[in-house]
Structure 1
Amino acid sequence: MTAPSRLISTVDYHTAGEPFRIVLGGVRPPRGATVLDKRDDAITRLDDIRVLLTHEPRGHADMYGCFVTEPDDDGADFGLVFFHREGFSTACGHGSIAAAVWAYTTGHTPLRDDGTLVIDVPSGRVTCTVRDTADGHPRVAFRNIASYLHAQDVPVPTRRGTTTTDIAYGGAFYAMVDTRTLGLEVSRDRLPELIGLAAEIKTHVTKNHPLADPEDPRINGLYGVIFHDRIATAEGRVEERNVTVFADGQVDRSPCGSGTSARIATLAARGELTENAVLVNHGILDTTFLGRIAASTTVYGKSAVIPEVEGTAYVTGYNTLVVDPRDELPTGFLLPSS
């Protein structure tokens, strides 16, 4: 029997339906002074591992995951470098929730005295409050980095006519479009059309609106397009349904944690969400994140908020992934979406 050329151990979770694969062993963690530096190292040195973990037959076209790293300093408990089928992202809210559930339930990292875990991610430092519930499964509310509305009501031409988008930052940049302006709704049967429209919107915004963090240009570009439907508005409550299309057409099954952060910042800037209100944000699977404004602040001279997004994650399996040295497809493959 030929010995495997590589063995990689992982644990898989889903957060509101969106997968998250945490690498436990078999890969040398990314190196660097900060987690953003470690992301640079992963881009250079671990891209083949990213492909192996996200592509078929070990993954799938919508897989997501992370490498666990040392934090930037003693102020955090650990770091995360996120990856998906196209590359390495700067933020991942659903992944932060899954990692907090993993660290707490496995005993990898004990909670601090205030019931939190502090995680360094490429876009900054997030604080996860972990609380047990009546059914014994924890819920996590992660407090994200400062998020803000970058541009409002930007006109964008599409195959269904010109629409407008709000561009906001929640650890990555998102363009948000009300599907009613396109004569559509957020639903599973509309996904192929929404994916196509997202590509058009992303191409136009990328060409006409360069996006980068003023302090570190490594955080740059339009990460995703969020299509949203307003369901209801009441005193202290805004309820929406959304789907986020990111990377090269990847669909977030959850309501998107960093996208929800950008959405909170946008609603706050528009005066539609106050510090005492909650955003009930449903995803394409009707799973839900709860979003709140934890604090108001300013960043780069812009009004901004510190968003808090609440959800939970469930373990789906432990894996030892193997590469046979004779395999003609050693790092896997992707086929075009139907």
Structure 2
Amino acid sequence: MWKNSLELLLVHCQGEIGKVIVGGAPEIPGASILDKMNHINTVDDRLRRFVTFEPRAHVAMTVNLALPPTRPDADAGFIVLQADRAHPMSGSNCICVVTALLESGRVRMVEPETVVRLDTAAGLITARARCRGGRCLSVSLDNVPAFALDIDAQVKTPKWGTIRADIAFGGVFYALVDVAQVGLAIVPDNARALAEAGIAIKALLKEQVKVAHPEIASLDEIAYVMFRDRDADGAVRTCTTLKPGRVDRSPCGTGSSANLAVLHARGEVKTGDARLSRSIIGGTFRAEAIGEAAVGNIRAVLPRITGEAWVYGREELRIDPDDPFPRGFALSDTWGPQVGELG
């Protein structure tokens, strides 16, 4: 499948690992990045499994596949590869990709600001990187339009009774849940309990809440449950939960965009307003409403997410035809009790 090996840059965004495949990957069929993502999800998932499962990976990380763009107005493309599937967009991973491409010279760095346009399955992302001395100091992402589908949707649960969730799109679909409803606080000691609660709610949402993007038919599932709270300084405390059972270490860019859309729909945010998003370990993103748009007949907000990433190394993954685990494996001791749902 691969000629020799895969080359990856090791990157983290506010503590959330987002490795970037920059060489050696096989050609992924498809005329667009969306087509390529759908091919990975529905036809051939060998690459995704190879880089996201043990023994070459661990649960608390993502791998991003950097690709040539499929549209003339983009500088590069990428697909988010996670243990459950390939996803169309991620704010923290987008920041990782931009930082990796610039600091490795794969996209030419211009100081003090470099504009990088990224082709994603969710649409075109315009990134503005603040650069100095060959370093990418921060990245501001002009995300795809974010919109709320349902405010205060009722979700019946066997453990917490009926809870309320705001259903919104910020690059992928989210269920945003005020964390007090599950009797927890967003603190590091609760990471395991938050992960299990989020994955349990996600399973219930699949049966109770249906979503569909008005313009991209294949985006039709709630990808993540994000718990939220409010800190004393007004920042939104976030905790996005990911299958099979972990929490995002970053403040979550697409989740922060979805939350901005909810605040916009509630009339609590207008163009020019900004909110600080803070992660479970204290990392921060700035989420700003830079304009309004329409997605189909749905009112949307244009989010700008600003954060930082760091390239901390590189690795080469080689393929051995005698390797007994080409598709990888995952065990519940570290991946959590829902690991069986990964297949």
Same fold by TM-score, threshold 0.5 exceeded? yes
Determine if the alignment matches structure 1 residue 327 to structure 2 residue 312. Answer: no
In the alignment, which of 288, 295, 300 is matched to residue 292 of structure 1?
Answer: 288
8 Å contact kept, 1:5–1:324:
no
Cα deviation code 1:42-70 (max 9, x no counterpart): 33565112111111121101221121222
Offset of residue 306 of structure 1:
0.6
Map of 2:226 onto structure 1: 226
The CA deviation at 1:7 is: 1.9
Contact 2:192/2:246 (8 A) holds in 1:
no
Cα offset for 1:99? 1.0
- Aligned partners of 1:232, 1:116: CA distance in 2, in Å? 35
Deviation at 1:217, TM superposition (A): 1.7
Structure 1 residues 298 and 181: alpha-carbon distance in aligned structure 2, compared to 1, 3 A threshold: same
Task: Work out whether 1:54 is the aligned partner of 2:32.
Answer: no
Q: What are structure 2's unaligned runs of at least 5 residues?
A: 337-343
**Number of matched pairs:** 331
Alignment partners' CA distance in 1, 2:96 and 2:223: 21
Distance of 1:286 and 1:177 partners within structure 2: 19
How far apart are the structure 1 equivalents of 2:145 and 2:163?
Answer: 27
Per the alignment, in what secondary structure is the counterpart of residue 87 of structure 2? coil
Q: 1:204 to 1:149 in 2, by over 3 A?
A: same
Question: In the alignment, is the contact (CA less than 8 A) between 1:29 and 1:67 conserved in 2?
Answer: no
Q: 1:206 to 1:331 in 2, by over 3 A?
A: closer
Tell me by how many angstroms 1:178 deviates.
0.7
Identity of aligned residues (%): 30
Instruction: State yes or no: 1:306 paired with 2:305.
Output: no
Cα distance in 1 for residues equivalent to 2:216 and 2:305: 25
1:134 to partner: Cα distance: 9.3
Provide the rounded CA distance (Å) in 2 between the counterparts of 1:137 and 1:71: 21
Alpha-carbon separation, structure 2, partners of 1:222 and 1:56: 26
Match of 1:130 in 2: 129
In 2, distance between residues paired with 1:253 and 1:62? 8
Secondary structure of the corresponding residue to residue 197 of structure 1: helix
For 1:104 and 1:77, how far apart are their aligned partners in 2?
11
**What residue is the counterpart of 1:92 in the other structure?**
90
Residues 292 and 308 of structure 1 are in contact (CA less than 8 Å); yes or no, is this contact kept in structure 2?
A: yes
Whether the aligned pair in 1 keeps the contact of 2:191 and 2:246 (CA below 8 Å) is no
Cα displacement string for residues 73-112 of structure 1 (whole angstroms, at most 9, x for unaligned residues):
2111111111101110011111111111112222211258
1:38 maps to 2:62: no
Q: Let me know the Cα RMSD of the aligned residues.
A: 2.2
Match of 2:251 in 1: 255
Offset of residue 167 of structure 1 = 0.4
Give 1:229 deviation, angstroms.
Answer: 0.8
Change (3 A) 1:320 1:269: same
In structure 1, the residue matched to 2:339 is none
